[in-house]
Structure 1
């Protein structure tokens, strides 16, 4: 039997994902600031690329939060 669609805690999970991703982004930026002279240009580029993906993920999570908020008002 399929589970019913329980969206009650979706916003909470999304907000936690936003916080975790922001923390990872911040830590990676600190790492780059502290060790940029000690890492290869390839490693730096990989970290910068990953941070760009993190920023896009945060935007996506925020859009989902808005969708969930709109859905909860409709219910």
Structure 2
């Protein structure tokens, strides 16, 4: 019987991936805000609620970016 080895935890590009996620989320917020001009009041409420959740996600991404940057600076190794 052969055992599969787990994949190595490669965190080398996590900061960059998280930064891309922040940028994509910001772009989604901007697109959603542009669509507010053409939305009904119900759609407007939904868009605003979703953008609020997106803002919260951005805060979480930024905290994780800081954690990953600190790990990188401290020489994270598996």
TM > 0.5 fold call: yes
2:7 matches 1:3: yes
1:26 and 1:40 map into 2 onto residues whose CA distance is 18
Match of 1:31 among 35, 42, 52: 35
User: TM-score, normalized by length of structure 1?
Assistant: 0.89
Q: In the TM superposition, what whole-angstrom CA distance separates every residue of 1:23-47 from its partner, at most 9, and x where no partner exists? A: 0000111111x21xxx322211110
Give the match for residue 26 of structure 2: 22
Q: In the TM superposition, what whole-angstrom CA distance separates every residue of 1:39-68 from its partner, at most 9, and x where no partner exists? A: 322211110000000000111111010000
- Tell me the C-alpha RMSD between the 2 structures: 0.8
**Structure of higher CA gyration radius:** 2
2:34 and 2:42 map into 1 onto residues whose CA distance is 17
4+ residue runs over 4 A deviation: none
**Which stretches in structure 1 are left out of the alignment for 5+ residues?**
none
**Which stretches in structure 2 are left out of the alignment for 5+ residues?**
none
Paired residues in the alignment total: 71
Greater share of helix: 1
